[in-house]
Structure 1
Amino acid sequence: LPISGMFCVNGRLDPESGLRFIGRIDNTVEQLFHAAVPTNCPTDDRKHGHLAALALVALVDGSALSSSSPNSRAEVSVVIDLQTLTHGLHDKSVIHTGHDVELPIETIRRMACEAEIIPVVLNSKGVVLDIGRASRLATRYQRKALEVMYPTCAIAHCDIPNAQCQPHHIRYWRDDGTTDMHNLIPLCPEHHRCVHEGGWKLSLHGESRQLCLTYPDGRSLTSSPTDTARKDLLYDIS
């Protein structure tokens, strides 16, 4: 125990167990976020870490949702093209776990058969991602779709991971902007502040999701999701 009196926890897990562990923590963080952000929670970049620590404690002491609840399971997203899933690896195989770990195709096939796993398959038909103005906050399926399209912050040349970003309404909610995919992009905390408080203007164009950033001095920067991020992915949770 360090002099500060705070516990420091670290450990090693195999790739599949690690993904399940992170998925369970992330799902509990989502519950905490939507329930009520604790009054002592930091408002800066440390916020996610604080909630993750609370989520781990909630799982240990049993205050998180019970394992029988459909919303309590560990959600692991694996991005994989349909040909690889059904026929095996090929020259243009796409396999993405969202973390720097690799899983054998056989493991992914088994995971795809388990209810707590959400396979993300190219060209699949599944969850409706547009929810209009029924909710201000992006659903976890919308967050996952944004993660697939944007591995990092949507602003060009920013390498902050998507997990540390916040879904941003291009047309603000207060201005009748909808919580639909065509109106959402992930922004890191710094760039989120630049948009809301620094005078940056954003516009998002069509299916290409070409993002145009206009600075207060009139300069502009145009970018699109990276080549490794696919815009034609939907989530199949059947």
Structure 2
Amino acid sequence: MEDLCAAIDGLAGAGLASAFGPELLERLGGLLVAQHRIAAEVARTVRACELAGAAEVDGLKTMASWLRGHGRLSPSAGAGLVRAGRALEHLPALAEAHAAGAVSAEAVATVAPVAADKNLAAAAAAGVELGEIDRLLTGVAAARPHADLVQVVRHYLAGLDPDGPEPDPTEGRRLSLVRHADGTLTGRFDLDAAGGEKLQAALESILQAGRCAGDERTRPQRQADALVQLCDTQLAAGTLPVLRTVKPHVAVVINAEDLVDPAPGPGAAELGFGATVSAARARWLACDGAVTRIVLGPDGAPLDVGRTHRVVPPHLRRAVERRDRGCVFTGCTAPTHWCDVHHLLEWALGGETSLANSALLCERHHTKVHHGFRVERQPDGAWRTWRPDGTEIRIPQPLAAA
């Protein structure tokens, strides 16, 4: 690894300003091959970690969760690496081409469904020679445009069981949301015909009810507004499932000064899922909401969260969520609504139900802490985690430094 880092440092130190186009393209081609080869080693190592149960060393259940917490990867990227590692194990020709730099990680991700358990079983039942399919797909991935590979893989998967039972419509449903730096969301979804019909029926009712003269919004704009209105209606109805003793709601955190100041105050308020909005938008949301006071001390930790009326009451939970922002177990990325409020010193042993004695832990890590692991909040507010043998779980230094 030291040699690899040194080689990359040498490449990064080379000047490119005076290089000509052909020279730059030759360099880029070599870098792409190297990128494919490194990606192959990453996927192979992820698979080895998965087989060895390595994530458990750091108190995590899967390599996908380890890659999210310790590798700083998105959920989709982490899951993709796990799938790639599994696929390469079943497709040796593809693995060899990937390791040689002839096939990209994107191509491997496209072929990976071929090696999914259900598709391997279907291929075996149909008498398909997987080795031949492996060589065919590898050839397409290495020599043809990516669009051709997508089409060939789709054709193969569709032909595995053309006369089988109709698939479960829920298996193909997907919804992915990406939050940008300014708090806006971009999404993609895939719905089966029946699910799509339900969504269209709900949105269309709001669209038609909101039609009025002079409305210059485009249909995509009106559909987006209808989706937000649909959420407003459901949240206001109060019939959605309760999240950890708290009804789902739009949470906004803002300083009292910004709340009463008429200035726009850009970036002055923080929403429950981490986005930031202006003070003006927060005041707009507060027009139809309840206000909870949270008094903060000099270090930013909540001091006074209102009345105490039962064990971990909602107002105390809100304070813990505000402070911890999610599971505090090192490497875990579980959001607040997946978490329990844990007593650092157990209540049965005299521990108080207070902010200082509380920590947010997801269900898995709450169990871990009650079976030998330990979390502790430092004077600077940082959380640290220790294994039962007393060694500390740490984020790998190169990644932490990066």
Alignment TM class, shorter chain as reference: 0.5 to 0.7
Do residues 220 (structure 1) and 392 (structure 2) align? yes
- Corresponding residue for 1:127? 305
Secondary structure class of the residue paired with 1:216: coil
Distance 1:16 1:155 in 2: 35
- Corresponding residue for 1:169? 343
More helix by share: 2
Mean CA deviation greater in 137-146 or 120-129: 120-129
Do residues 211 (structure 1) and 397 (structure 2) align? no
Using structure 2 for the length normalisation, give the TM-score: 0.35
1:20 CA displacement: 7.3
Q: Which runs of 5+ in 1 are unaligned?
A: 35-70, 224-238
Structure 2 counterpart of 1:160, from 321, 334, 341: 334
User: Percent of counterpart pairs with the same letter?
Assistant: 21
Secondary structure class of the residue paired with 1:182: coil
1:144 CA displacement: 1.2
- Cα distance change of structure 1 residues 212 and 189 upon mapping to structure 2, 3 Å threshold: same
Structure 1 counterpart of 2:264, from 72, 81, 88: 88
Matches within 5 A, 1:26-175: 29=242, 75-85=249-259, 86=261, 87-90=263-266, 93-99=267-273, 105-114=279-288, 116-118=289-291, 123=296, 127-128=305-306, 131=308, 135=310, 137-175=311-349
Distance 2:292 2:338 in 1: 22
- Corresponding residue for 2:374? 201
- Corresponding residue for 2:184? none
Do residues 184 (structure 1) and 358 (structure 2) align? yes
Indicate if the aligned counterparts of 2:342 and 2:360 stay in contact, CA closer than 8 A: yes
1:4 CA displacement: 9.4
Secondary structure class of the residue paired with 2:366: helix
- Corresponding residue for 1:43? none
- Corresponding residue for 1:14? 228
Secondary structure class of the residue paired with 1:213: strand
1:154 CA displacement: 1.1
Q: RCO (CA 8 Å, sep 6+): is it higher in 1 or 2?
A: 1
RMSD of the TM alignment (CA)? 4.2
- Cα distance change of structure 1 residues 195 and 127 upon mapping to structure 2, 3 Å threshold: closer
1:14 CA displacement: 1.8
- Cα distance change of structure 1 residues 185 and 94 upon mapping to structure 2, 3 Å threshold: farther
Using structure 1 for the length normalisation, give the TM-score: 0.54
Secondary structure class of the residue paired with 2:272: coil
Indicate if the aligned counterparts of 1:77 and 1:119 stay in contact, CA closer than 8 A: no
Secondary structure class of the residue paired with 2:306: coil
Letter in 2 for 1:88: P
Indicate if the aligned counterparts of 1:20 and 1:75 stay in contact, CA closer than 8 A: no
Distance 2:237 2:315 in 1: 13
Superposed CA offset, 1:87-130 (max 9, x none): 2225xx3322113666664342133244x43366775996336x
Letter in 1 for 2:235: F
1:29 CA displacement: 1.9
Secondary structure class of the residue paired with 1:181: coil
- Cα distance change of structure 1 residues 209 and 100 upon mapping to structure 2, 3 Å threshold: closer
Distance 1:126 1:111 in 2: 24
- Cα distance change of structure 1 residues 189 and 160 upon mapping to structure 2, 3 Å threshold: same
Letter in 2 for 1:177: G
1:77 CA displacement: 2.2
1:160 CA displacement: 0.8
Q: Which runs of 5+ in 2 are unaligned?
A: 1-166, 171-193, 203-225, 297-301, 396-402
Secondary structure class of the residue paired with 2:388: coil
Indicate if the aligned counterparts of 2:250 and 2:272 stay in contact, CA closer than 8 A: no
